[in-house]
A and B are shown apart, each in its own frame.
Chain A
Amino acid sequence: MSQLHYALFTGCTAKQSTPELLSSTLAVADKLGIKITILEEASCCGASHLQDFDEFLAHVLNARNICYAEKLGLTMITICNTCQLNSAMTKHALDTDPELKARVNEKLAEVGLEYKGTSEIKHFLYALIDDYGLENIKDKVQVPLSQFNIAPFYGCHNIRPSELHHNANGGENPYNPTSLDNLIDALEGHPVDYSHKNKCCGFHVELQANHTSEVLAGNAMVDAIDNNADLMVTPCPLCHLKMDTYQDDVGKVIGRDIELPVLHMPQMVALALGCTPKEIGLNFHVQKATHLYPETA
């Protein structure tokens, strides 16, 4: 297999509140021999909120990000479901609407850029599964996760709308997603089957509809716990932030004690590939995985 090479769109969260997401992503790439070029020029994707304020402006800024991956001639990978959604939505809108593409390119020309539509956009999870391959990952496992029941939490923006993601996520079905389950299997962990694995965590209304947000996160976490999860794992740092940092508040609203470490997908892979918990920043979690890895205490 020739060396895989991707342009990495980090998003804001990996550069701020979840530094462990970036470090563990780079650790996984390093272990697997995947070459990563970080798009240091890329800005925020708007996270659907800028889109609510000014959809056209959001398209212009996302198109600019994609331009930098196109310049490198690389597939752009994301490590946040919401970055994936908003970048892919812009790509889809521009690739299917020549009039919009022309209007966006008129703006981009002012800063010397042009959106062409030549780069694919996919989440790192699907780059690992569809490009690198589960069997190849399996061969590299040094520390099997066989002692853990791991609840996969897919996060909405990688799996819905299926029409948009279909080409980039291996045709994952939003009602019966399997990629994370298969990845956990490949790392010799035990995937937890629970009905909330493809549901919403409520992150996006954290401020204006706090109760809704806490209930949605709580429903998912309680479901995972009731099905014997030791850990939860998610490819989305926003799901991680909601479920990790607000765990106490969520517990109060739901009326249950919730104690469930929430790992980023690359952290889980890195652990199985032999990275130490410290290397991949497990110490940056609010809900520490101390009962699993005492050294993060």
Chain B
Amino acid sequence: MSTQTEEFEPFNTDEIEVTRPDTVTVTLKTFRFNAETDYLPYYKHYTMEVGKDELMLDLLNRIKWEHDGSFSYRRSCRHGICGACGIKVNGRATLACKQNALELVELFGNELLIEPQSKKRAVKDMIIDKKDFWDKHAEVTPYVVADVDPHPEHETKQSIEEFNKFLDSDLCIQCGNCHYACPVVEVNEDYLGPAAFNAAYRFTVDTRDEAGRERLELTAQIGPGVWDCVKCFECAEACPKEINPIEKITKLHNMQFEQGVAKPNVATKHAEGFLRGMKKYGYLDEADIVSYSEGYLGMYKHLKTAMKMMKAGKIHWHSGIPFIDSVPKIKNLDEVQKLIEISQTHKL
């Protein structure tokens, strides 16, 4: 028995450095709004002594219990599982029940700005209308689609390797933190968003699923699909389950090419077209990538900018004629050419 207790070593308290004072005075500048009665939102300040073990959810509770019973927010499990209590603190997406309050005080100072995930969707205080999130989530068919024998003799087994393909995408709790941290969701109403893409990835790589091609076709569309991702990594930072949605977005991009779903368009040609310059020069050919991606007819959109760049010397003549031989060559270019030849896994 003694060897067993050694294996399951208890929590080592020596490793935890507690340098914070026991309590800190914190002011919560809190977003207040009731869509039924208020014309505009306003901010109320609540000041309280915050202990070192208190979570952001504890502070929301204290606003409601000690200051104003009408303060509204969603909460349920208190264990980082239900995904109800997503809010923003100083612009940072936060799952209130997982986030230590004084950690944020250390980062942002003694006044914390407490806001809903999306101010424009606010219904009452921290509560927002998540309809767009759920609609987009539903759009990617976020479940296993399979023709299943209702009375199977065996369970449909998954090997460890097959299970590992999901990566961590299965851990999503649909809290919406990544979705409402995504700047594209704010600008492009059709964009499915990082949480929906994560779900699309999760079920497309599931070996039991048969709807992968439909999901790849949906996410390949310019507008709603992955090609509108701006690569800001806000989603990776916002996720309380450390899922890294943008990693799944890159996987979806790759799968579209691997499975022949990607059709030549401005975005796919832009991705694949990097190789054109790299094969010739080692560098990207900045002028060629635009004309190749847009097609010669599409180039008219960029003429004005090109003229401005040429005037400023950004497209320059001193190293050759623009569009023809102005890109310098790297040393040992043959290595890059050889590596592309032997390492490229698919074509457009």
Q: What residues make up the interface of A, taking CB atoms closer than 8 Å to B?
A: 12-13, 15-19, 40-44, 46-57, 60-61, 64, 107-108, 110-111, 113, 156-157, 160-163, 173-176, 195, 199-200, 202-205, 207-209, 211-213, 215-216, 241, 245-246, 248-249, 283-286
Contact = CB atoms under 8 A, between A and B. Distances in A.
B331 interface: yes
A54 B344 contact: yes
B184 A212 contact: yes
Chain B, interface size category, equals 35 or more
Contact of A107 (B108, B326, B342): B342
B231 interface: yes
A19 B315 CA distance: 10
A200 B234 contact: yes
The 5 closest A-B pairs by CB, nearest first: A160-B233, A52-B253, A200-B232, A208-B267, A53-B271
A208 B270 contact: yes
A50 B344 CA distance: 11
Nearest to A195: B91
Contacts of A284: 312-314
B133 to A, nearest CB: 19
Nearest to A175: B92
A44 B345 contact: no
Contacts of A113: 335
Given A51-B250, A53-B257, A249-B305, A161 B314 contact: no
A222 B64 CA distance: 37
Contacts of B342: 107, 110
Nearest to B286: A16
Given A12-B284, A160-B237, A284-B313, A209 B228 contact: yes
B330 A208 contact: no
A52 B252 CA distance: 8
A49 B274 contact: yes
B236 interface: yes
A202 B234 CA distance: 13
A55 B250 contact: yes
B335 A111 contact: yes
Interface in B189-233: 222-223, 227-233
Interface string B323-348: 00011101110111011101111101
28 contacts: A17-B309, A18-B314, A40-B330, A42-B282, A43-B283, A43-B336, A44-B284, A48-B231, A49-B270, A52-B254, A53-B254, A53-B272, A55-B254, A64-B339, A107-B343, A156-B232, A174-B237, A175-B90, A199-B183, A199-B232, A205-B228, A207-B266, A208-B266, A208-B270, A215-B187, A283-B312, A283-B313, A286-B311
A57 B345 contact: yes
Given A160-B232, A208-B267, A213-B230, A16 B283 contact: yes
Nearest to A205: B230
Contacts of A17: 286, 309, 314-315
Contact of B305 (A52, A54, A110, A246): A246
B160 interface: no
A15 B250 contact: no
B261 interface: no
A162 B237 contact: yes
Contacts of B274: 44, 46-47, 49-50, 53
Contacts of A46: 274
Given A43-B278, A111-B335, A175-B90, A12 B283 contact: yes
A246 to B, nearest CB: 7
B225 to A, nearest CB: 10
- Residue of B234, B294, B330 with most partner-chain A CB within 10 A: B330
B251 to A, nearest CB: 8
Given A43-B282, A283-B312, A284-B312, A57 B234 contact: no
A150 to B, nearest CB: 21
A16 B289 CA distance: 13
Contact of B314 (A40, A44, A202, A245): A245
Given A64-B336, A207-B266, A209-B228, A245 B257 contact: no
Contacts of A215: 187
Given A41-B330, A57-B343, A176-B108, 20 more contacts: A12-B277, A19-B316, A40-B330, A41-B331, A43-B330, A49-B270, A54-B254, A61-B336, A64-B336, A110-B338, A161-B236, A204-B231, A205-B227, A207-B266, A209-B228, A211-B187, A212-B188, A212-B228, A213-B230, A286-B308
A43 B251 CA distance: 23
Contacts of A211: 187-188
A174 B93 CA distance: 12
- Residue of B231, B233, B315, B328 with most partner-chain A CB within 10 A: B231
A207 to B, nearest CB: 5
Nearest to A113: B335
Contacts of B18: none
Contacts of A195: 91
Given A64-B339, A205-B229, A286 B90 contact: no
Nearest to A60: B343
B257 A54 contact: yes
A110 B326 CA distance: 30
Interface in B59-87: none
A172 B251 CA distance: 28
Contacts of B343: 56-57, 60-61, 107
Nearest to A107: B343
Contacts of A176: 90, 107-108
Given A161-B233, A200-B232, A208 B222 contact: yes
B21 to A, nearest CB: 21
Contacts of B118: none
Nearest to B182: A200
Nearest to B282: A43
- Residue of A16, A19, A108 with most partner-chain B CB within 10 A: A16
